[in-house]
Amino acid sequence: MKITEVKAVYPTYKNIAASWRTHFWQIVVRIETDQGITGLGYGGGGVAAVEVINGHFRELLLGTEINNIQDISKNWDLLYSASIPYGRKGIAVMALSGVDLALWDLLGKAEHCPVYELIGTRNKESVRAYATGTDVEWYAELGFTAHKFPHRWTSEKDVSSAISSARHSRNILGPNALLMIDTYMSWSFDTTLTMSKSLEEFNIYWFEDVVNPDALESQSKLRTLVQPTLIAGGEHEFTEYGYQEIAKAGALDLWQPDITWCGGITTAIRIVEMADALGIPVAPHRGGEVWGLHLIVSSKCDDLAEVLPGVKNGNKDYLWIDEPVPLNGYISPTDAPGFGVTVNEELLP
Ligand SMILES: [Mg+2]
C-alpha cells in the first residue's frame, strides 16, 4: 500500500498542569494510504515535532510503499538520515517515533493482526504492572504489587522525605512488593550513595534517572556502589546509537527506552536485541501504554510495565480509546489489529 497523507497534530489537552510532563508533550501522527487504511502513532516533542513531521518528513513519505517490516525499517533509516543535521536525538527522533509507530499500526491493520504478532512470538500473556505516582493506598486497592514513587532532591532534609515515602509504601504494599524510586535527575553521585545507605532496610529495586543522563561514567561507578539496588535509566536516550554509548560505558543495570521517544518499535527492537546480547534487562518507560506493551509481550523485555494511574478521583485526559487497563496489577494488550486503539477526536484540534 502507498502512503497518501501524513499529518501530525498536538492534541488540545484539557487537564494541563504546570509542567510539560503532564502529557509529556505527546503528539498524534496519522498516516493514510491508497488502501483506505489509516495508521495512528504517538510521538513526543510537542509542536516542534509536529513541524518536523508536517514540514519535512511528510514530503519524504508521500508515495512510499509500506508492505512489510523491512519497508518500515527502510523509512526509519531514510527519516533519520534526512534529519541528521538538526536531529540524531531529541525532538527529531521523538517525531520519527510517532511516524514509526503509525507505520507499525498501519501494517498491523493491513495484515489483520496486532503489532505484537508482527514483532515476534508472544511470550507473555499478561504483564506485571507497576504504578508510578504518589497515591499508594489507591494503588494497593487496585491490586498493584509494584510501585515507583517520585523523589526530587532539593535540600538535605530530603533524605528523611525519601525514607518516609519508602516506609509508607512498604507498609502499605508489604514486604514482597517491588519498590522503585524515580529521582528525575535530581540526585547527585553523592546523594545516591547517601540514599543507598539510608534506604537499605526498604529493599529498593531500582533508583531511576539519578543524575544527568550524559554522566555515563558516574552511573557506571554507582552500579557497584549501590548494589543490590539497580541503577536504571534511558528514557532520555535516543536510537540504538545512543544506547551503544550506554552499553560501552556499562552505565546502567536496567534500560528504560521510551517507545514514543527513542525511535519507535523499529529502534526498540534493535535496543532490546543489544540488551539481550549483554544480559541487561529492559523495562520500557511507560511500558503499560500500548506502544510499549506490544513490544513487551513479544520480546525479551522484562515482565514489567509502567502505568501512571495518577491519584484517586483525579482528572485525566483520555486521548486513546480502548487502551487496556491494568487488572489486579496485571495488564495485557488486546488482539485488535495494529495497536488496537483509536484516537479521541474530541481532543484533536
Ligand atoms: Mg522516569
Residue 19 binned pLDDT confidence (cut-offs 50, 70, 90): low
- The total of other beta-carbon atoms located within 10 Å of residue 157's CB is 7
Q: Using CA of residue 197, residue 199, residue 203, residue 205, what is the dihedral sign?
A: negative
Domain boundaries, the chain: 3-114, 119-333
pLDDT at 290 over 60: yes
The four Cα atoms 9, 263, 57, 105 give a dihedral, to 10 degrees, of -60
* Mean pLDDT of the 207-219 span: 98
**Cα 285 to ligand 1 centre (Å):** 7
103 with 135: CB under 8 angstroms?
no
Q: At residue 2, does pLDDT exceed 60?
A: yes
CA of 242 to the centre of ligand 1 (A): 17
DSSP state of 346: G
* pLDDT > 60? residue 319: yes
Q: Please name the residue that has the C-alpha cell 509529556.
A: 24
CATH match for 119-333 among 3.30.1950.10, 3.40.710.10, 3.20.20.120, 2.60.40.420: 3.20.20.120
284 close to 256: Cβ distance less than 8 angstroms: yes
pLDDT at 16: 66
Residues 6+ apart with CB under 8 A from 193: 222, 225, 226
CA 57 – ligand 1 centroid, Å: 29
Phi, psi of 129 (to 5 degrees): -100, 140
User: Alpha helix (H) ranges present in the chain?
Assistant: 46-52, 58-61, 69-82, 91-110, 115-119, 136-142, 158-173, 189-198, 216-225, 239-249, 264-278, 290-297
Whole-angstrom distance, CA of residue 110 vs CA of residue 235: 31
Dist CA 142 CA 319 (whole Å): 22
Cα four-point dihedral sign 100, 103, 105, 111: negative
The residue to which cell 507498609 is assigned? 171
Residue 73 to residue 29: CA distance in whole angstroms: 17
Three-class SS of residue 145? Answer: coil
**Mean pLDDT lowest for which of 3-17, 216-230, 236-250?**
3-17
How far does the centroid of ligand 1 lie from the alpha carbon of residue 177, in Å?
19
**Tens digits of per-residue pLDDT, 131-181?**
999 999 999 999 999 999 999 998 888 999 999 999 999 999 999 999 999
Task: Please state whether the predicted TM-score (pTM) of the whole model is above 0.95.
Answer: yes
What does the pLDDT read at residue 17?
Answer: 58
Is the model's pLDDT at 20 over the cut of 80?
no
Query: In angstroms, rounded to a whole number, what is the distance separating the alpha carbons of residues 294 and 292?
Result: 6
Indicate if the alpha-carbon torsion angle 106, 271, 74, 69 is positive or negative. negative
Residue 169, by phi and psi: left (phi above 0), alpha (psi -120 to 50) or beta?
A: alpha
The CA 15 to ligand 1 mean position distance, Å, reads 21
Q: For residue 321, how far is its CA from the centre of ligand 1 (angstroms)?
A: 25
Domain 3-114 fold: Enolase-like; domain 1 (3.30.390)
Distance 233 CA to ligand 1 centre (A): 7
